Structure 1
Amino acid sequence: MPDPVRAAAVRAVLFVALTLLQAMIVLLFTLAGSWWAFPMVLATVASTVATTWCVLDVWVTRQVWRQRHGVVSVPSSTAREVRRVGRPRYP
């Protein structure tokens, strides 16, 4: 994976983890009846927007990198030459 794409992916994973943590905290605050639940809901909504932006950034960065640098074409194991086994010819 190219460096810009890797950096965007790491950033997205961190944001996803933070958003899931905030959602868990909101759930626990709500079950406990704490007044902190509402501010945490607002923070979680903002974090969800940021997480969506980061995930889209991974996709866009990957597409831009592919467009600028092209795709390296390396034959894979499935692209090997097929051996032609000759059949015996009958006269």
Structure 2
Amino acid sequence: MFLSALELRNIIESSFLPRRCQCSLSPELKMTVRVYADGVTDTLELLRTDIDARHLNSCREIHELIAGLRTDLAHHPVVTEHRQVAGKAR
């Protein structure tokens, strides 16, 4: 990863505003992303787990992850799915 975990979380979380988004990163660099209906409620709209953050080494890869999450949010909300990024199985 070329960004710190804090920078990566900030980029991803802010990309879903005005919705509330929470990212967490394990010591093994597996990311979990939760997107809520709005900034106030705890209504979960999207949950993705086991995202391999080791492959987020460029702006393009981060953008592809965010675009994929937005697509999932629009088409398959609240479905837990294990996914990898950057040309890997999704």
Give the TM bin, normalised by the shorter chain: under 0.3
More helix by share: 1
Which structure dedicates a bigger proportion of its chain to strand? Answer: 2
Query: Could you say which structure has the greater relative contact order, defined with CA pairs below 8 angstroms and 6 or more residues apart?
Result: 1
TM-score by length of 2: 0.25
